[in-house]
Structure 1
């Protein structure tokens, strides 16, 4: 664990914080995920029930979860749930189109890449360095697992996040235009950004 002022960074979602983690994730990505998982309360419950606790780094203020960043490793990401889970939760008729929408958001990692599964920070703690601490810890996780790069995807409707990533050394390597999703999910382009894993990052944790 590491601390900065009143914020502690740890690996993994703390036991009992599943609902809080899902709320933070939904607050950050609900506009994008809404068409696939709405209504919001059901969506938050679904995310909470299928979290992979060990695929995140978390920021705590005291014992309250105020931020988290997920990542994908060995086929598992922070947000889990199989196609069968979606169909059981939403029903066959409603679940099938939801699965199609979720498939549009899938991104396959290249060899040697740790893919981030989103970063979410409590609005009251934004601008206080929490996002930077989470990104630093993701770099440490990537180094510990033997990855050469960290990759993330940022939508065009989130310039604040992109600015943070650029400040932390991420470089845009390509943009996919998705105008057909702007009305549905709120974004019309997705930019892929990558950052090499520094050798010194493996020593933190």
Structure 2
């Protein structure tokens, strides 16, 4: 949202959101998912501050270019996800009348992990930093983290209007296991199907 990416330095990947990068992370997240989340959280002037105020910094893997945040992958594990906030936070931001409608829409996106799963619930890369393999780096770091936590698989959902993301996930070892067709939501949300994809994770003991 109005930020340029410059420099030809090395991309570094780290776990956790850097201190002070909450607003930047929220903007990256909104750039990637604003079309999907817009019906629930528009306008951006309200959505971005709300997201920034309720991020769980320890539930993200981040990519930095010359020290600047250019990519992130959020995930859910042990009952905590990258994007937090309660129903009360949404109601305070939008008002009770409009907020209730928005909460119903947000409930459609709820995807809690099953035992042994890590759910990846957001991959975002700045438009000017694409083509450097940042998405793949983030996915592989999430996979390493999942293995360390004893998870057996990573799960994610991808919408039918994002074929580039699905192609990336397939290249990184994800397989589609189920597609839920929701044509009745196309007018409201802008997409008509959600595909669940999974990637098995081998623990270090299994790799020996």
Structure 2 length-normalised TM: 0.92
Q: Alpha carbons of 1:165 and 1:61: their partners in 2 closer, same or farther (altered >3 Å)?
A: same
- What residue is the counterpart of 2:88 in the other structure? 84
- What residue is the counterpart of 2:143 in the other structure? 139
- What residue is the counterpart of 1:94 in the other structure? 98
Q: Distance in 2 between matches of 1:202 and 1:144?
A: 12
User: What SS does the aligned partner of 2:165 have?
Assistant: helix
Q: Alpha carbons of 1:201 and 1:53: their partners in 2 closer, same or farther (altered >3 Å)?
A: farther
Tell me the alpha carbon deviations over residues 59-114 of structure 1, each in whole angstroms, 9 at most, x when there is no partner. 00011100000000111110100001111111101110000000011113222110
Match status 1:73 vs 2:77:
yes
Correspondent of 2:49 among 45, 50, 56: 45
Deviation at 1:177, TM superposition (A): 0.5
**Gaps (5+ residues) in structure 2?**
1-8
Contact 2:181 2:193 survives alignment (8 Å)? yes
**Gaps (5+ residues) in structure 1?**
none
Match status 1:164 vs 2:191:
no
- What residue is the counterpart of 2:58 in the other structure? 54
Deviation at 1:198, TM superposition (A): 2.5
- Displacement over 6 Å in runs of 4+: none
User: What SS does the aligned partner of 1:198 have?
Assistant: coil
- What residue is the counterpart of 1:127 in the other structure? 131
1:15-54 equivalent positions in 2, closer than 5 A:
15-54=19-58
Contact 2:153 2:199 survives alignment (8 Å)? yes
Q: CA RMSD in A?
A: 1.6
